Structure formats: structure tokens, C-alpha cells
Amino acid sequence: MAGRFLNAFKPIARFIPEVKAPERRVGFNEKLFWTAIALIIYLVMASDACRLYGIPSTVEERFAPLRIIFASNRGTLMELGIGPIVTAGLILQLLVGSAMIQCDMSKPEDRGLFTTASKVFAIILTGVQASAYIISGMYGTLSGTTAIIVFLQLLAAGFIVLLLDELIQKGWGFGSGISLFIMAGVAQQIFLECFHPSPWVDEYGSSGLFVALIQTIMSGKSVSGLLLRGNYPSIVGFIATIVAFLVIIYMEGVRVELPLAYAGYRGFRSRYPIKLLYVSNLPVIFASALFANIYFFSYLLWSQPWGSSNFWVNLLGSYKLDSTSGQYVPTGGLVYYVTSPGNLSNVMAEPLRAFGYLAILIAFCVIFSLTWLEVGGLGPSTVAKQLVDAGMQIPGYRRSEKAIEQILKRYIPAVTVLGGIIVGLIAGLSDFFGVFGSGIGILLSVGIIYQYYEILVQERAAEMYPAFRRIFGE
């Protein structure tokens, strides 16, 4: 049974709008349709055509490092993006993983209450972050009426994103809304870093690498200046992006396969894959969300009139205005070590910061990987139960949960820790080489694309072999 904390959400559940799970099996084309609809709505809300009503036409960018992680866009209805949803999930996952609240994810009632709690927390955090943006003066000085209008716009947009994510996760679409929106945001960022025809940002041309390359050749300058280009897209960064894609794709394919036999059909054989990246990119999402929130709240505190002179605020984070980018960058405190240096030049100039960031990122990726095993229903005991319920067994062993669980325990915990270390290393090192879309963004997008590939294969297998549906949980 759910603990007291989750039971407190029972009275609230009836008042929270929700997307009902389909009572029938949703076909492939229908899932594709609803996934496309959700993506189109997100892209429209994130476009300049849906700018927040009541704020200045030009809004200063203060949270650029958060944009890819939270799939947000400044000054638009997607100002907060998926930030509140991811943060709410992060808080509850930590509470469940540390056993501070009781929740058995194998029970439908507990899963339902957990979902309700996540939605309530996400709505509350949307209101908190929207208020923080307005009170901090990020949009300038707003009148009382305008401030309320802006707040309601952000709250409504956050609720729409919450429902879109639930629509896809409940089975009407493929994957999850959070993953879909992150992938779309990363794809946009990579495209802009390659082809954005902005005004000249330095002596070599626009911020888009290939536009700058053409401008450099036409002006008769050497393209060697584009090899390393500070905070702007460079040739080294482009090569690193391709290498990162290839490495992550390879890692996604590395797996240990356990032989399985289906008790209902004699002679029918299968394999259960335990991937090297067993919990996929979720640890990076949670670690990034944690770091992003540290950055967000530390900057809001530091930007107050009393913030820069307060010892505790500076211990959390201090900033300075970067003359090149026109943005505030961390110079000290905890936030200094949980934000990436950004490129090779900064890594060489600040090696201690680079090492600290990489070590902290890897540590939290491992922690969140282990936490997600039980919370996400990926632990040996849960997987063993699913296999037995589906009529599967390991050849040479009796058909029992305990026997399968003991075998799974040899692999799953070790693979989980190793996978957490690998995703942390890939994300951190990719950032150091200035990959397009950020190291974390590349890791997330490749992982998401791979997940969608597996989903499509799974859908096809379920149509060809209906017996698989019990294994897939359909």
C-alpha cells in the first residue's frame, strides 16, 4: 500500500485533469498521428509567433545553459519548457529512492498516486518558477496587471506541456513527451549552430559554422581560424559532434543477451538484452535538471540587490558579465563546478573546474542510475517477475522468479553502475570539445532516437507475433 505521503493525494486526484489511458490497443498510425500533433503544438508554442504577451520585444538571455536541457525558448510560451515536469519527477524519484516515501511501482494504485503527485508538484513548480522570473525582474519592471497576465500565460503553457507529455506516455503516442521535446530542441540547436545566418559575431562571420565558412573563404581569410572559435561553433566542435554521435550509437548497441525459452511453445527461443546503457539517458536528464536548478536559483538570489554581498549566496554561486557573449557566467561557488567550462580553451584555462564538473556529473549519473533501477521497475526482481508472468524461462533453470532473479543480479547492478559512468563521461567530455547542441544534448538526442527505433521494432514484432505483447506489457 502507498504511504501516508502519497495517500494525501487521493482527494486531489479527482480534481486534476488527466488524459485517460486507451482502453484498446492503439494502432501504429494512430500513435504516429498523436505523437506528431504533440510535437507540432510544442514547436508552435516554442516559436517566436507565440511570444509572451506583455513583455518587452527583446528579452535579455540569462539562462542559456538551461535551454537545451529544459527544451525551452526565451520570451515564448515555452519559457519554462519541461523544467517543472523534470524537476518534479527528480524530487519524487529521490524521495522514493531514499525510502523517505513509500511507493510500490508494481501496484497500479501506487503508480496512479505517484503520477498524481508528480503532476501536482509540476504545477506548483511551474507557478514558483514563473513567479521567480517575474519577481527577479527578468522581463523588466511589469505593472501588477501585466505581471498577472504573464504568470497565467506561463502557468497555462506549463499545464499544456504536462498534458502533452501524459498523452504520449499513457500510450496514445511513442515514447514520452519529455524525450520528444528535448530531441526537437537539440535538433533545432544543431541546425542553428550549422546554418544560422546571423550578423557577424567575430572576424570570421556569422554564428552558423557553414555560413561563417563561406564568408571566410569569400573574404580571403584562412579557414584555420575556424578550427577553434571560442564560444562560437567551430570545425573541431563539428568533428567532435560527429564522433560523439558515432560513439553513443556504438555504446547503445553494446549488450549482454540472456537466452530465454517460452514455456507455452516448445522449441521457441528468444533473448533478453541487458544493454550497457541499461537505464538509458535518464541519469543524465536528472543530473542535468539538478545542476540546472542550482544554476537557476543561485542566479536569482545573486541578482538581487543584496545577493552579491551575501556570503551564503556567493557560496552557492557568484557571476560576472561576459563581454563576448553578453551573458552572466559563473565565477565561483557550487554552481561554478556544476556547469561545464564549455570549450577546450576554457578547459585549459580552468582545469580544476573541468575536473570537478566531470567528477560531480559522473557521481550523480551513477547515483541516479541506481535509484532508477527500482523506481523505474528495472531491478532484477521486477524483471524476473515480468519474464515469469510472460511465460519465459532461462534454459537449464527451473521456471521460478528466484532462479531468474539470481542470474539477473550478476549483470544488472554492475551494468547500471558502468553505464552511469559512461554516460557521464560522454556528456562531460563532449562538452569540453564544444560539440553542437552541448554534450548532454547530443547524448540525450541519440539515446532518444535509439529508443524510438527500438519502439518501432517492438511495435512491428508485436503485430507479427501477438504473444510478444505480454512481454511488452501491451
- The model's pLDDT over 123-177, given as tens digits with 9 standing for 90+, comes to 999 999 898 888 877 777 788 898 899 999 999 999 999 999 989 888 888 888 8
In sequence order, the 6+-apart residues with CB closer than 8 A to the CB of 32 are 174
DSSP state of 170: I
Residue 361 cell numbers, joined? 556529473
From CA 59, how far away is CA 337, in angstroms rounded?
27
CA distance readout (Å), 469 to 262, 291, 362, 465? 13, 38, 36, 8
Task: State the pTM of this model.
Answer: 0.76
Residue 363 cell numbers, joined? 557521481
Strand partners for 330: 319
Question: How many CA atoms lie within 13 Å of 284's alpha carbon, on the beta-carbon side?
Answer: 31
From CA 210, how far away is CA 216, in angstroms rounded?
10
Helix and strand numbers (H, E) in the chain are: 19, 5
The whole-number pLDDT of residue 153 equals 94
CA nearest 131: which of 145, 150, 113?
Answer: 150
Residue 325 cell numbers, joined? 557573449
Burial 406-433 (b: 16+ CB within 10 A, else e): eebeeebbebbbebbbbbbebbbbbbbb
The whole-number pLDDT of residue 1 equals 45
Burial class (CB in 10 A: 0-12, 13-18, 19+), 54: middle
The whole-number pLDDT of residue 352 equals 92
Residue 9 · residue 117 · CB < 8 Å: yes
In 3-state terms, what secondary structure has residue 261?
A: strand
Q: pLDDT tens-digit profile of 350-407?
A: 899 999 999 999 999 998 888 877 766 678 888 888 777 777 777 766 667 787 888 8
From CA 7, how far away is CA 117, in angstroms rounded?
10
Q: Edge-to-edge strand order for the sheet containing 392-393?
A: 269-275, 255-262, 392-393
Q: pLDDT tens-digit profile of 45-55?
A: 988 888 888 88
Residue 252 · residue 379 · CB < 8 Å: no
DSSP state of 319: E
CA nearest 442: which of 253, 255, 207, 182?
Answer: 182
From CA 285, how far away is CA 427, in angstroms rounded?
11
Q: Which residues of the chain have pLDDT under 50?
A: 1, 471-473
| Type and span of the H or E element at 330 | strand 328-332
Domains and CATH numbers, the chain: 1-7+24-174 (1.10.3370.10), 220-474 (1.10.3370.10)
